Amino acid sequence: MVEQDGFVLFETDKRVVAWAKAARNCAEKLSRDPTIRDANFRHGRTWFVGVDMLPNGPDGRVAGVPLNGPWEKHVPSLIQHKAQVSIIFPEYPKQDFDESDANHRFRRKRCGAHVDGLLPEGPARRRYAREYHAYILGLPLNLVTDAPTVVWRGSHRIMQAALAEVIGKQAIGTVDLTDAYQAARSAVFDTCEMVPLHACPGESYLLHRFALHGTAPWTGSEKTGRMVAFFRPEFPNPADWLAN
């Protein structure tokens, strides 16, 4: 499933419905706090980033409701971090004052496509592996279908192979991945299908850690922000991140 396409969309599960309801209640309270909102808005206040915002436990439990679902048999058992609560609002993405025209075009045309954990550093914004995620789990918290998460089918194989080749036997975190990453991403755009993941609370989607993914621009008439909780637990050993 995940190994074939790089993602899987799971059908509604009663356990996930209960968790999403509890998580939404917590997330809405926090996201209404003016100080928290100002610190988390990006792209002309059309994206609330919400990194590490959800007050869940190390097993994913929130407000006493356990995190269980159909993805469990497909992923390793790892300690969960506090989930990101990403909220996309109408007109996403607007251009921030310090965002280049090229970056803004890429966000609109290519949905800001990226592989998580490869962070830009220094004045030249060169990318290095800094976060060694095992997988990405998306859990919709409200029923809004606009600006869905998008993923490029089969992109995980292209991206993983390219990064493994440039890293070779070197220490993973020391290798500048920028050129290999950008070349592989271009190859994905040329050869892989972009798939929107439309999901409602109770459904869930699992992405391979090397899957190229992003967020589609807001194009509809819905007025409510689209809220999704994301878990990205990390491998204790970085070598496991690059292994098959």
| CA 83/CA 154 separation, integer angstroms | 26
Tell me what pLDDT residue 242 has. 94
| CA 92/CA 113 separation, integer angstroms | 15
Task: Output the CA–CA distances (angstroms, integers) from residue 200 to 17, 230, 233, in the order listed.
Answer: 9, 14, 22
Query: Residue 180 forms beta bridges with which residues?
Result: none
Beta strands of the chain (E only): which ranges? 7-10, 41-42, 47-48, 84-88, 118-121, 126-129, 135-140, 149-152, 194-197, 204-208, 213-215, 226-231
Q: What are the structural domains of the chain? A: 2-242 (2.60.120)
Tell me what pLDDT residue 2 has. 84
Short-list 159, 166, 142, CA closest to 208: 159
Tell me what pLDDT residue 1 has. 65
Specify the amino acid at residue 136.
I
Per-block average pLDDT, block size 10, for the chain (244 residues)? 91 98 97 94 97 97 98 96 98 95 97 97 96 98 96 98 97 97 98 98 98 97 94 96 87
Task: Output the CA–CA distances (angstroms, integers) from residue 143 to 1, 24, 217, 220, in the order listed.
Answer: 25, 11, 17, 14
| CA 24/CA 65 separation, integer angstroms | 12
| pLDDT tens string 198-213 | 999 999 999 999 999 9
Query: Taking the model in full, what pTM does it have?
Result: 0.96
Helix (H) / strand (E) containing 191: helix 178-191
